[in-house]
Structure 1
C-alpha cells in the first residue's frame, strides 16, 4: 500500500524543516568572540555591576577577544563595539536596522523613560522628534540665532564661578539649564537660589543614571513587572513609583507654565510655543511636543555640565596647557572683551583643548545601547536580532592606534604641524553614531566651546592649598554613572588680573 501523507503530515514536516533550517542558519555562523559563559546564566556573573567597571572590563576584553565582543546574560545577547570603525560600519552604514532601543522593563516601561527620545523606540514618533530638533538646532545656521543667549549666560557663569568656587557643579548646571530652558520653554531660571524646574530636572537625570547604571532583576525577568508591591523581591516597585513621578513632573511642570503664558498672551517665542501655535495640533501631537521638549533638556543639560567640569579639572591639573591657551586668546581676541563664536576659526589651540576635553573623559563612556532589529552578519559573525549593541566610547577614546599616549591630556594631538597629522577628531565618536547620534550635538558643541574660551580669557584655575600652604592635587576621580562627572574636588578659581575682574563684573550684569 502506497503511503499518502495528509495535509497535517505535510504541515508538520514543513514546520520541522523550517525550524531545522533556522537552527542550522544560526549554527552555521558563530557569534563574535567573547568570554565563555555558564549554562543558563551565560556571562551574567562576569559583567561588572557599575558602569565604570563595565567599560573598563569591556576594554580589557578587547585585548583578549578583539574589537567586537559577544556576551550573554539570562538569554539576552550583548554585542560590545570597542573600535570606532566597527561602530561606524554597523551603527552608521547599517543604521536602518541598528537604530532601535532595547525594551528595558525598569527604566523604560515602568519608570517611563521610553517616552522621551533617549530610550524611545525607533518609530514614527522618534522620527518626528528628530525632525523637530533638526529645525531647531540641526545646523549651525539654525543655531546662530541663539548665540547672544549663549554669550549672556556664559558671561554670568564667569561671575558665578569666582563667587562660589566650591559649588562648580551647581553653577554649571544653572548655566546649562538657563540656556536650554529658554530655548525649549521660554523659561527664565531664577538667577539666585534654587529653581523649581532646574531642581526637578536634576533629580530626574540623577534617577536616570541610577536606572541605567544598576542591574535590575525585572530587566532579566520581565514577568516581575506584574507582581504587587508586597510580593517578595518587588521592592523595586517603590522606586518605580517615585521615579515615574519625578519624570512626569519634569515633563509637565515647564510645559504647563508655557501653555498658561500662551493663554495669557505673554509667552515668548520658543520651541514649545512655536510648535503649539501650529494649526493642526491634536491631543496626540501635543503629547509628542511635550516629550520632545523634555528630551531637549534631558539630553543636553547633564552632558554639557559634564564636559565643562572636565575642562575645569584638566586646567587645574595642566597649568601649562591653560597658559598656552590663554596666550592664544589674548593674541587673537585681546583683553577688553570676551571671545565669541565668531572668533572660533582663529583659535586653533583653544579648539584643540575643547576636543581633548571631549576625548580625555568621554561624557557617556558606554552611551545608550542600540537594539538590532533583525539578524545581521558582520565579518562572518552572526549578530542576532534583539541583541543589545553597546558602543564602548571609553575604549575608542583611549585606543592607542588612534591616540598616542591616550591617558595624557594633550591638546597638541589635534594641532596640525609639519610632520604631524592631527589625530582622530573625537566628535566622530563621543556624540554617538548613526540615527542615534545626539540631536543636540551642535548646541552642546557651541555652548561648551564658548564657555571654555570665555573661561580662558578671564579666569585662572589652579590647585587649592591646605592650611599649611601645600597644594592639594585633585585625584581626578569620576562618578560611576551613565553620564560621568568629576567627583567634586577643591580648587582655586580667580580672575586672571584686575582687567579680567572688571570684564567679569561688567558681564555679570548683562541681560
Structure 2
C-alpha cells in the first residue's frame, strides 16, 4: 500500500515537473519565431532532408513566415526566407550577425583552420579580409588582373574552337587557371596541372566530408575523439585522409612561390606580395602560416562558384536561343566583329548585363549561402533571436520570390529592364549571391568581372544550340541542378559552333596578340 502511494506521489510529481517544463518551454518558445514542431533532444533534424534543403526551408517560410525558428539537435537555427529579412539582419546589423558556427570537421579535423570563409569574426578574420580586399577589391588590383582575365578568356575560346564537346572541362580549367595565376603566379598550361590536381583532390575530399558546421561531429564535438579504428568511425578515417590532402594542397603551391622568390623568378601574385610585405615588416615568422592558409583558402570559393555560374550560362543559352540571339545583336552593334568585347564595353551592353544578372539568379550558386552566427541576443519583428543561433539565408528562396521576379522559374533577362526603377538595385542578384554584411565575398568584383568577360566573349563568337543524337533527335537538357553547398547544373551536352570564319579569326588574333 505504501509502495503504491509512493509510486502515485512520484508519478504526480513527475507530471507536475513535466507540465511546468512544458509551460516554460512554450513560454520561451512563444518569444521565438514560429517554426515546425520539434522532437525532444533532436529538434527538427529529421525534418531536414539530405538533399535540396533549400526547398524544404522555403516551404517552412511559406507556412510559418519570413523568419523561421528550428533546432538542429542543440543548435538554435533561424532561417531567413526573404531578401528583406536578410538585409535587415545580416546587412544592417552585421556587427551582431557576422559570426560563424563552430566547424569541428572543417577547421579542427581537416585542418582548414585558416579558411577565411569559416573563420569566426575576430582579429584573424580581419587580417585575412584586409589581405584579400587589397588583392582583389581595389581599383588598381582589378586593373592589374585584367591582363590575366583576358588571356585566360582567349585560351578558353581557343579550346572551345578545338574541342567544343569538352566545354565543361574547359570552364573548370578557366576558373582554376585564374586563381592559380593571381594567387600563386602559376600559369596553368594543361588539364592535368600538378598543382591544380593536388588542390582539386583536397577540395573533393572536403566537400564529401559534409557541409561546414552541419556534420554529426559539428553537432556532437566529442565524436572527434573517437579512435579511427573503432567500428563506425569511417568519418574519422576519411577525415585523417583528407587532412593529409589539405596540408599538401596548402603547402605545395606555397613552397613553389617561396622557391621561385629565392631564385628571383616569382611572378606577381597574392602570395608573393604578402610574403614580400611581411618580410619588409619583419613579421614573416608570425604571418607565414596565415599567408599559406589565405592562399589555399582562395581556391575553393574562387573556382567552384565561378564554374557553377558559367555552366549555368551555357545551359540557359541552350534552352533559350532567343536570348543568345538578342545578346549577339547588341554586341554586334556596339563591339562589332573585328575584336572581342572588353571591360570598357560593359556599360554599353545593358542586355548582356541583364543576362549576367539572370544567370546568377536562375540557378544561384550557393542556395543556402554560408551560415552566420549571431554573437549576442537580438530581437526582430517582436521575436527573440538568441545569442549563438545559426543564421541561414535561403538565397534560393530569395531568388525565386515571385513578388520580385514574376515567373521565377523562367530564364528571362528582360525582367531587369522591365523592373520598377526603385527595385532594380534591391533585386540585383549580385547583392545577395556573394553573401551579406561584413561576410560578403571580398573578391566579388574580380569574380563578377571574370564571369562577365566569359559571357560577353562567348556570346560574341559562338552559337550554342542543343546537341543531337545519332538519329538526329535533339537532346534537350533539363533546367535542373545537383544538391550541395554549391549548386551545379546536371551535366548536359550541347552544340558549340563559331558564328563565322570572322569569329575564328577574331579569337586567334586576340590570342596571338596576348601571347606576343
* TM-score normalised by L of structure 2: 0.90
- The answer as to 2:386 corresponding to 1:384 is yes
Larger deviation: 73-82 or 452-461?
73-82
Per the TM alignment, residue 49 of structure 1 is displaced from its structure 2 partner at its CA by: 1.1
Larger deviation: 444-453 or 213-222?
213-222
Structure 2 distance, partners of 1:419, 1:263, is 55
- The answer as to 2:37 corresponding to 1:39 is no
Per the TM alignment, residue 201 of structure 1 is displaced from its structure 2 partner at its CA by: 2.2
* CA displacement, residues 432-464 of structure 1 (integer Å, 9 cap, x when unaligned): 001111111001110100110000010111100
The counterpart of 2:459, out of the listed 456, 461, 470, is: 456
Per the TM alignment, residue 213 of structure 1 is displaced from its structure 2 partner at its CA by: 4.0
**Residue 77 of structure 1 aligns to a residue in which SS?**
strand
Q: Cα 1:271–1:452, aligned 2, differ >3 Å: closer, same or farther?
A: same
* CA displacement, residues 192-245 of structure 1 (integer Å, 9 cap, x when unaligned): 341011122222333333234496332222111111112232111111012111
Larger deviation: 236-245 or 452-461?
236-245
Structure 1 distance, partners of 2:27, 2:263, is 62
Q: Cα 1:441–1:385, aligned 2, differ >3 Å: closer, same or farther?
A: same
- Structure 1 counterpart of 2:71: 72
Structure 2 distance, partners of 1:193, 1:378, is 50
- The answer as to 2:201 corresponding to 1:203 is yes
The counterpart of 1:407, out of the listed 392, 409, 423, is: 409
CA contact (8 A) 2:82 2:397 kept: yes
- Structure 2 counterpart of 1:30: 31
Larger deviation: 346-355 or 484-493?
484-493
Q: Cα 1:420–1:266, aligned 2, differ >3 Å: closer, same or farther?
A: closer
The counterpart of 1:352, out of the listed 347, 351, 354, is: 354
CA contact (8 A) 2:363 2:481 kept: no
- Structure 2 counterpart of 1:6: none
- Structure 2 counterpart of 1:176: 175
CA contact (8 A) 1:68 1:86 kept: yes
* CA displacement, residues 296-335 of structure 1 (integer Å, 9 cap, x when unaligned): 2222111111111100110011000000000000000000
In structure 1, stretches of 5+ residues that fail to align are 1-19
- The answer as to 2:497 corresponding to 1:499 is no
- Structure 2 counterpart of 1:9: none
- The answer as to 2:478 corresponding to 1:475 is yes
**Residue 483 of structure 2 aligns to a residue in which SS?**
coil
CA contact (8 A) 1:302 1:483 kept: yes
CA contact (8 A) 2:66 2:82 kept: yes
CA contact (8 A) 2:467 2:474 kept: yes
Structure 1 distance, partners of 2:27, 2:261, is 57
Structure 1 distance, partners of 2:428, 2:197, is 34
CA contact (8 A) 1:139 1:442 kept: no
- Structure 2 counterpart of 1:393: 395
Structure 1 distance, partners of 2:466, 2:374, is 47
- Structure 2 counterpart of 1:87: 86
- Structure 2 counterpart of 1:8: none
- Structure 2 counterpart of 1:441: 444
Q: Cα 1:163–1:487, aligned 2, differ >3 Å: closer, same or farther?
A: farther
CA contact (8 A) 2:482 2:488 kept: yes
Larger deviation: 132-141 or 23-32?
23-32
* CA displacement, residues 323-373 of structure 1 (integer Å, 9 cap, x when unaligned): 000000000000000000100010000000000000001010111111111
* CA displacement, residues 223-278 of structure 1 (integer Å, 9 cap, x when unaligned): 11111112232111111012111211221111000000111111112211111112
**Residue 98 of structure 1 aligns to a residue in which SS?**
coil
- Structure 2 counterpart of 1:328: 330
**Residue 308 of structure 2 aligns to a residue in which SS?**
helix
Correspondences of 1:76-475 after superposition (within 5 Å): 76-189=75-188, 191-213=189-211, 216-278=215-277, 279=280, 280-415=282-417, 422=424, 424-475=427-478
Structure 2 distance, partners of 1:132, 1:217, is 33
Structure 2 distance, partners of 1:28, 1:350, is 48
- The answer as to 2:90 corresponding to 1:58 is no
Q: Cα 1:166–1:483, aligned 2, differ >3 Å: closer, same or farther?
A: same
**Residue 467 of structure 2 aligns to a residue in which SS?**
strand
**Residue 479 of structure 2 aligns to a residue in which SS?**
coil
- Structure 1 counterpart of 2:12: none
Larger deviation: 27-36 or 444-453?
27-36
CA contact (8 A) 1:113 1:120 kept: no
Structure 2 distance, partners of 1:342, 1:121, is 38
Larger deviation: 336-345 or 242-251?
242-251
Q: Cα 1:116–1:265, aligned 2, differ >3 Å: closer, same or farther?
A: same
Structure 2 distance, partners of 1:344, 1:496, is 21
Per the TM alignment, residue 507 of structure 1 is displaced from its structure 2 partner at its CA by: 3.4
Structure 2 distance, partners of 1:24, 1:478, is 40
Structure 1 distance, partners of 2:273, 2:192, is 28
Structure 2 distance, partners of 1:445, 1:473, is 28
Structure 2 distance, partners of 1:26, 1:130, is 41
Root-mean-square deviation (CA, aligned residues, Å) is 2.1
* CA displacement, residues 118-149 of structure 1 (integer Å, 9 cap, x when unaligned): 11111211101111111112134430121122
* TM-score normalised by L of structure 1: 0.91
Structure 2 distance, partners of 1:120, 1:353, is 34
CA contact (8 A) 2:339 2:510 kept: no
Structure 2 distance, partners of 1:467, 1:374, is 62
CA contact (8 A) 2:275 2:284 kept: no
